[in-house]
Structure 1
Amino acid sequence: MSAAVEFRDVTKEFPGGARAVDGVSLSVEAGGVFGVVGHSGAGKSTLLRLVNRLEEPTSGSVLVDGRDLATLGERELRPVRRDIGMIFQQFNLFRSRTVLGNVLYPLRLAGMDRARARERAEETLEFVGLAGHGKRYPEQLSGGQRQRVGVARALATRPKVLLCDEATSALDPQTTGEVLALLRRVNRELGVTILLITHEMEVVRTLCDRVAVMEDGRVVESGEVYEVFARPRHHTTAAFARSALHSAPDEPLWERLRTRHAGRLVTVPVVDGEPAIDALSGLLRTHGVDFTFVHGGVGEVRGRPLGNVTLELRGAPEAVEAVVAGLNAPARREAGVR
């Protein structure tokens, strides 16, 4: 599949030598949803702003639909920017304009005649669930409704690419879910490529096909979302994955569990395609071992199960050891039973 956005060894330095983006190479497939996750200061916001040339790269190339933005003059850049919508964390709406006026703004700026622009704006407001709200002002709306206006404004010019700058960070969990569902519709029904940045791994888990993890301006890990969650290779990635999944107990919790449970404690990862959890019930039956669930759980990432379950095993010592040995058999060792 062709790349909608491509970063080729991109670096961005600010005055004083601060390097916000350091040699980043990434490819965002057309029609996909690509997330960039990282802590504050990781460089993800700067990376996003390079896509529509709100920032200029110090070196390297940023290509949109195969065109190197640095080679485009202002006249050539203008239609490219119309193909790139952007939504913001703090909505960035005009307080003095109505909802309809906010959505009309980019259309009138693009030179669309008034009647056609109004029709397009009303269609877009209906798509985001705000039909009938056109005469209201931003202050009269909830946070979720304001973000929907932001999405409508970004979609009004029918962009090929939608940039999302921490689009749900200012929203409560329920509203976040609603906005993410809307963005899924934008991707699936309109075919818009979405490139989003966030520090919330839950957003990535819910929405994205692929993800890159940034730290100190560099991409430390990238790949298909399920694989990055299930088998993180970098400590920063592992920390983000734990924040969105039922994780294995850390050492303090492990010690607390030991004080409450006299049996043998084991944590078994639940990873699609790995055999440890599938073997568990058979091993328990074969060796006559009882168990109690004491921690963890299983969720879904991209429709596939992922999580950890920690169990207290009870039975004859040799039977319990046989279960643990079975879980840690060479064919299952990659699963990392503790």
Structure 2
Amino acid sequence: MIELRNVTKTFPGSGKSAPFTAVDDVSLTVPRGSVFGVIGHSGAGKSTLLRLINQLERPTSGSVLVDGQELSGLSERGLRPHRRGIGMVFQQFNLFNSRTVYGNTAYPLKLAGLPRAEVRQRAEEALRFVGLADLARRHPEQLSGGQRQRVGIARALAASPKVLLSDEATSALDPETTGEVLALLKRVNEELGITIVLITHEMDVIRRICDRVAVMDGGRVVESGEVYEVFANPQHSTTAAFVRSVLPERPAGATLERLRERHPGALVTVPFRHDGDLGRELSRLLRRYGLDFSLVSGGISEVGQRPLGSVTLELHGTQAEVAAFLADPQLAGVVADGSGAQDSGTHGSGAVAA
């Protein structure tokens, strides 16, 4: 649905300041019907990247294609029909306080010159979809933050876009309202088939609704891919830091030392993935080698409706039993901390001393 080919955006310097490259040679493909997240810290270039898609910012070089049409070479007049197919939802809502909820929703349609009956039909349908039909005559100051963001989404949907761009749409909301707005965006994608590109600095937003993700740092995309695989196996330090913010880590450092003080047996951390059999096989393997265990740490979360995480166990058994257990070839990916009954230094394939 969207393709960026070697796109660079450099802003000219002013006075003594040098030119600044906000987006540096970025190539991305956003599949039709997907929810594509772009994450990065402040200044990473993600907002500029989003504005390049609808050509609110023109690229210094490279090409931007939406639905097969290259936009980067079009005039402002030539862009107008294509921009109508690209809706946008803003962080600060950008509503007119002087207009009602209905008036805000209908305003872009009136500007486009649509007949009054069609304007009413589209605006009312959009408000019903976001659950605000009964608040159509209220003004924005009478609404909560979540309701105002729903108005922003309704306004974008009323134009029947093929693409919806979300610019930090939940960062000004509390956690409960954030969940409601994310659920609404997921409905927009699933029920209306609209491709969504959202930018955020919160990895939990990516985890909850995105299919694919691009991680930006210093104007470049440092990693991209299917969300589950990026979470399960981050390749760049920036990505790993974002993943750690939402998924429990394997115990290390002071946390591991505290666990060792409380649990003298061998500690092992077992990864859980949707495509692995280790979780189902673990109890059987422990029984085979005569081991009991205590659960001491860990957590399993859902990423793309699939489980991902790890648990740390204290094994109860002899040194020989623990060593035999860890030598089992099915235990690839298990990490042992080297304490307790496992101090002999014997590790199975995939069992690595922490």
TM-score, L = length of structure 1: 0.94
Q: Deviations over 1:125-151 (max 9, x none)?
A: 010000111111111111110110010
Instruction: State the Cα distance separating 1:232 from its structure 2 match.
Output: 1.1
| Structure 1 residue 8 corresponds to structure 2 residue 5 | yes
- Work out the CA distance in 2 between the residues paired with 1:309 and 1:96: 54
What SS does the aligned partner of 1:284 have? helix
Decide which moves more: 145-154 or 324-333.
Answer: 324-333
Cα distance 1:121–1:336, how it changes in 2: closer, same or farther (>3 A)?
farther
Q: Match of 1:59?
A: 61
Q: 1:89 to 1:267 in 2, by over 3 A?
A: same
Counterparts of residues 71-220 of structure 1 (less than 5 Å): 71-220=73-222
Letter in 1 for 2:316: R
- Structure 1 residues 201, 334: closer, same or farther in 2, change over 3 A? farther
Residue of structure 2 equivalent to 1:29: 31
Looking at structure 2, the residues matched to 36 and 65 of structure 1 have their Cα atoms a distance apart, in angstroms, of: 19
1:100-134 residue CA offsets vs partner (Å, 9 max, x unmatched):
11101110111112232122111110100001111
Which secondary structure state, in structure 2, belongs to the residue aligned with residue 71 of structure 1? coil
8 Å CA contact 1:37–1:198 kept in 2: the answer is yes
Secondary structure, counterpart of 2:57 in structure 1: coil
SS at match of 1:104: helix
Secondary structure at 2:135 match in 1: coil
Q: 1:319 to 1:30 in 2, by over 3 A?
A: same
Deviation of the 1:74 alpha carbon: 1.9
- Cα distance in 2 for residues equivalent to 1:292 and 1:33: 40
Cα distance, 1:303 vs structure 2: 2.2
Q: Aligned partners of 2:306, 2:72: CA distance in 1, in Å?
A: 40
Aligned residue identity for 1:12: K
DSSP-derived class of the 1:171 partner: coil
Distance (whole Å) between structure 2 residues aligned to residue 328 and residue 252 of structure 1: 30
Contact 1:99 / 1:136 at 8 angstroms: preserved in 2? yes
Aligned to 2:249: 247
Q: TM-score, normalised by structure 2?
A: 0.90
Asked whether the equivalents of residues 274 and 335 of structure 1 are also in contact (C-alpha less than 8 Å), the reply is no
Which amino acid is the alignment partner of residue 14 of structure 1?
F
Question: 2:134 aligns to what SS in structure 1?
Answer: coil
CA contact (8 A) 2:301 2:308 kept: yes
Report which stretch shifted further, 221-230 or 111-120: 111-120
Structure 1 residue 317: Cα displacement:
1.8
Which whole-Å deviations, capped at 9, do the CAs of 1:196-222 have from their partners, x for residues lacking one?
A: 111111111111111111111111111
Q: Aligned in 2, Cα 1:163/1:46: closer, same or farther, shift over 3 Å? A: same
Q: Distance in 1 between matches of 2:175 and 2:89?
A: 18
Task: State the Cα deviation string for residues 240-296 of structure 1 (Å, max 9, x = none).
Answer: 112222332232211221122111111111112234434422221012212111111
Paired residue secondary structure (2:109): helix
Tell me the SS of whatever aligns to 2:136. Answer: coil
CA distance in 2: counterparts of 1:209 and 1:249, whole angstroms: 29
Shift in Å at residue 326 of structure 1? 2.5
Amino acid aligned to 1:102: N
Shift of the 143–334 alpha-carbon distance from structure 1 to 2, 3 Å rule, reads farther
How many Å apart are 1:235 and its aligned residue? 1.4
* Alignment check: 8 A CA contact 1:266 1:337 kept: no
What residue in structure 1 maps to residue 343 of structure 2? none
Structure 2 distance, partners of 1:75, 1:123, is 29
Q: Which amino acid aligns with 1:160?
A: K
Which of residues 37, 41, 44 in structure 1 aligns to 2:43?
41
Task: Give the distance between the partners of 1:256 and 1:22, measured in 2 at CA.
Answer: 44
Count of residue pairs brought into register by the alignment: 335
Aligned residues of 1:89 and 1:169 also touching (Cα < 8 A): yes
What is the aligned-residue RMSD (CA, Å)? 1.8
The alpha carbon displacement at 1:327 in A equals 6.5
- In the aligned structure 1, how far is the partner of 2:284 from the partner of 2:298? 21
